[in-house]
Amino acid sequence: MLKDFHFFLYLVLLVLAGFFFFFFFYFNFFLYIFLILFLLFLLFLLMLFFFFPFLSFYFNFN
C-alpha cells in the first residue's frame, strides 16, 4: 500500500516535471507561476516524508 502511494507520488513528480519543461519551452511567461507552485509542492512532499513518520511514531498510527 505504501509502496503504491510512493509510486503514485513519483508519477505525479514526473508529470509535473513534464509540465515544467512544456511551460519553459513554449510559455515562458508561466514559468514563474509554475515554479512557485512546484516549490510549494516540494515543501508539501518534504512535510509528508519527514514530518508524517514522526507524527505516526508519536501518535502510534497503524
- Where are the chain's structural domains? 2-59
Per-residue model confidence as pLDDT tens for the chain (62 residues): 556 677 777 888 888 888 777 777 776 667 777 788 888 888 887 777 776 666 666 655 54
Which are the contacts of 48, defined by CB distance < 8 A and separation ≥ 6? 9
Sign of the C-alpha dihedral computed for residues 40, 45, 48 and 50 taken in this order: negative
**Gap between the Cα atoms of 54 and 41, Å rounded:** 20
- Residue 52 has a pLDDT of 67
Q: How many CB atoms lie within 10 A of CB 45?
A: 13
- Residue 19 has a pLDDT of 78
